[in-house]
Amino acid sequence: MNAARLFILVIAAIAAIVLAFVVRGAFAPKKTAPAPAVAEAPASAPVARVLVAKRDLPVGARLVAADMGWQEWPASGLNPAYVTDGAPPAPKETGAAGAVKEAATAAGGLMGDPALQGFVGAVVREAFFAGEPIVARKTLKAGEGNFMSVVVRPGHRAMAIPVSADSAAGGFILPGDRVDLLLSKGGDSGKAAVTRTVLRNIRVLAIDQTAKAEPEAKALVGGVATLEVAASEAEVVAGAQAQAKSGAFLSLALRSYADAGGPTGRGSGAAASGESVRVWRAGQVSEVVVTQ
């Protein structure tokens, strides 16, 4: 066998082997890729239903059923002071069942709920924000005590003084405003009138029996204004009232909201005797009030 024929045979053998591998690969069953592992959804954290405010509730508001509602709350964030519906914490329902449950809660169905009814008629002593849990310490239920006694801050006293439209900024002083208490006396028998600031930056708790001004109220004319004063200043107010009964005049000066953060307490003016002297200086005559 010559070399040329041998070479042709070798080439033919190699081609046959390659063809065999190609045919085998074409007809062999294809391997399927492994299915991706499905991640298991984590179990929902247990939740409870907590009684919350459905709107902002200011101090002095009287609670009604529409002001409160149940809201799902993480069990890990529950506080012993929170009011729950009594059911044990359970995983939050999802899907259609959860939507139906939330819709039923939002729709109401709470009128006969004992927990909610226990707060109906209570007075808010500390403001609530919408979505904030209702807690007993921030409300005053009927028969538990005087509303004014819980509104007054610790270390302060509520003092009432007589007012009128002309002594209370024309009736534009409302509960919650800040005022200065002024005392004026003299002005008769030839004596110069003297006015001094008894207390400054004092909070008005109420006008007559109104402790919360209506949202659209612009003026409130009453006969008595209740002021919140420090315990050490109660005697000062009582003394000013005694002078008012003997001819002096008490009035309230309304402060701007921009001045509400200013100093509070006794005024800088000293008690005046009502006596005055005339002083000549450089040809100018001035009258000076003598203070005591």
Q: Indicate which CATH number applies to the domain containing 137.
A: 3.90.1210.10
Judge if 224 and 147 occupy the same domain.
Answer: no
The residue range of the domain holding 219 is 155-289
Confidence of residue 35 (pLDDT cuts 50, 70, 90): low
User: What's the pLDDT at 121?
Assistant: 82
Judge if 52 and 133 occupy the same domain.
Answer: yes
Q: Measured between alpha carbons, how far is 191 from 185 in angstroms, rounded to an integer?
A: 9
SS3 content of the chain, % helix, strand, coil (to 5): 25, 30, 45
What pTM, to 2 d.p., does this model score?
0.51
Tokens 């045979």 label which residue?
Answer: 9
Judge if 124 and 247 occupy the same domain.
Answer: no
Whether the pLDDT of residue 271 is over 50: the answer is no
Give Cβ neighbours of residue 231 (< 8 Å, ≥ 6 apart): 155, 156, 157
Give a yes or no: residue 77 inside a domain.
Answer: yes
Judge if 191 and 273 occupy the same domain.
Answer: yes
User: What is the DSSP pairing of strand 156-162 with strand 178-185?
Assistant: unpaired
Whether the pLDDT of residue 92 is over 80: the answer is no
Q: Measured between alpha carbons, how far is 246 from 249 in angstroms, rounded to an integer?
A: 9
Q: Measured between alpha carbons, how far is 95 from 72 in angstroms, rounded to an integer?
A: 16
Q: Measured between alpha carbons, how far is 271 from 192 in angstroms, rounded to an integer?
A: 14
Q: Which amino acid type is present at position 80?
A: P
Q: What is the mean pLDDT of residues 150-160?
A: 85
Judge if 50 and 66 occupy the same domain.
Answer: yes
Give a yes or no: residue 95 inside a domain.
Answer: no
Give a yes or no: residue 4 inside a domain.
Answer: no
Instruction: Return the SS3 of 273.
Output: strand
Rounded to a whole number, what is the distance in angstroms from the first to the last CA of the chain?
A: 147
Give Cβ neighbours of residue 273 (< 8 Å, ≥ 6 apart): 290, 291, 292
Judge if 194 and 140 occupy the same domain.
Answer: no
